[in-house]
Chains A and B, each alone.
Chain A
């Protein structure tokens, strides 16, 4: 029995919700970064599901999915570099420790 499009979309929406929750609720910057990666995976799953069910003859959506994966990798690279820099300077990547700029 074939899995319907809706099932893929629901899983992607769940991933998206988990990602948003992680970004909002997590206090460690590294965990927030993980949440963002989950968000990107929701996008990838959505894209591939739509490609398969809506327009399987056109491969451009697959290229879009690869772009999303690349964006995730690059974001992880620069994100971890930023975390490392912050950790070296202040020995902490808890976002609550970075709350001096306000007003």
Chain B
């Protein structure tokens, strides 16, 4: 309950975060204890899933609270933070199910949930943080456990390479970003985003603002996988276990968008430093480059990686006009919700394929529609939604994005995005044609195991979510309209 205490220790405001943090700490000894003990290995995963559901409930309860800041103006409690926390928690929950499904019966089962909880916690903090120090801290909290997740299978060659690239890119990008943040402090003498915005709006030296913005943008662009800071993404997604790639393609990216929006809307309102122009350029570059490279991919995880880069480019359209078009925020939120569901659905099918076949070559998917109808259907729906075919969520989401772009006078960018969506259809439909039109290789051995209840749950939640969100877009919009409520 909102109270009027002068103290800065407003623990009542962060119950969802406290649940995850407490559980994460508890899981450290629990994971060590259950390591290698048969059925006990399911305990950490079960606890973590329960914790995520509890945090979802606690966050949903906060939705109608008044917007306010806590912890001495460093942590925001507003519609924006709550909706982004709901998105992050749902993404983490579905990704956790997929990870548990992929590692069922393996020792990694015990360790994955702990890292996943801490990374999610970092993302949640980032959507609320109003202080430069907290931003740096939460960005690190998001990245460090993600390295652990990527290298869950310690002896895997591809994972080893993926984690090395992820670590070097992330550490360098976040250090460059923090260097940029120090200049904001130097210009304004404050670490708080709101006061920085007020001070810069008056008489900021444009050259220094642009320099700081450029450096800071590198860190956020890294998290959002924007071209040209995307080089890590395809390697990490294809080297990590597919279920983990699903997590890394969803949670850090959504958190990156949350952090970036929070940063520019508070510290640089009214487009100070020309960030809307920079974001527009990055959007054009990201969607085009992502789609063009995706055209010639031969592996499913890599294809999904480039597709998710292109999707980030689409989401940047409303971000570029977030400070002037009223509907921009709900378009971002709606598309992120759709992206989360369809991307996790696609990656969980890739994870099933990796578990049963040990490969993600597109050629190995030939005839999947006849051998394994359920996963094939899930993958086909996810790809159609990513391509933007009605009545799936991706279609409604793209309509909202383009509408907002037109309202914000970005006609050329909207046209470019539309052309890109047509281009993207080619590779999405190419995969679907493989699933249903090609016959499986005659000498191919039948798949080892069935999907298992965890996979069915992952498929069910993500696919039904995509359908419901697409058929009833007003449900999603009602929720994401809350994004406009900033402190």
Contact = CB atoms under 8 A, between A and B. Distances in A.
A2 interface: no
A75 to B, nearest CB: 6
A79 B239 CA distance: 18
B178 A82 contact: no
Interface string B160-191: 11111101100110011011001101100111
A67 B137 contact: yes
A39 B168 contact: no
Nearest to B166: A82
A74 to B, nearest CB: 7
B133 A67 contact: yes
Given A60-B133, A71-B136, A85 B234 contact: no
Contacts of B298: 103
A64 B160 contact: no
A64 B172 CA distance: 18
B144 A101 contact: no
Interface majority SS (helix, strand, loop, mixed), chain A: helix
Contacts of A35: 172
Contacts of B299: 103
B297 A42 contact: no
B175 A82 contact: no
Contacts of B172: 20, 23, 35-36, 39
Contacts of B234: 101, 103
A60 B144 contact: no
Nearest to A93: B164
- Name the residue in B144, B167, B182 with the highest tally of chain A Cβ atoms < 10 Å from its Cβ: B182
B175 A98 contact: no
Contacts of B154: 85, 89
Contacts of A43: 175, 178-179, 182
A96 B8 CA distance: 49
B179 A42 contact: yes
B147 A78 contact: yes
Contacts of B144: 74-75, 78
A58 B132 CA distance: 15
A33 B176 CA distance: 14
Contacts of B151: 82, 85
Given A42-B179, A85-B151, A101 B161 contact: yes
Given A39-B176, A85-B151, A101 B235 contact: yes
Given A46-B186, A60-B133, A101-B238, A36 B171 contact: yes
Interface string A1-31: 0000000000000001001100100000100
Contact of A54 (B163, B176, B189, B302): B189
A41 B179 CA distance: 10
6 contacts: A46-B179, A63-B133, A71-B137, A78-B167, A100-B158, A101-B161
The 4 A-B residue pairs with the shortest CB-CB distance, nearest first, are: A55-B189, A39-B175, A50-B186, A46-B182
Interface of A: 16, 19-20, 23, 29, 32-33, 35-36, 39-40, 42-43, 46-47, 50-51, 54-55, 58, 60-61, 63-64, 67-68, 71, 74-75, 78-79, 82, 85-86, 89-90, 95, 98-103
Given A32-B168, A60-B191, 13 more contacts: A23-B172, A43-B182, A46-B182, A46-B183, A50-B189, A55-B190, A67-B137, A79-B167, A85-B151, A89-B160, A98-B164, A98-B165, A101-B162
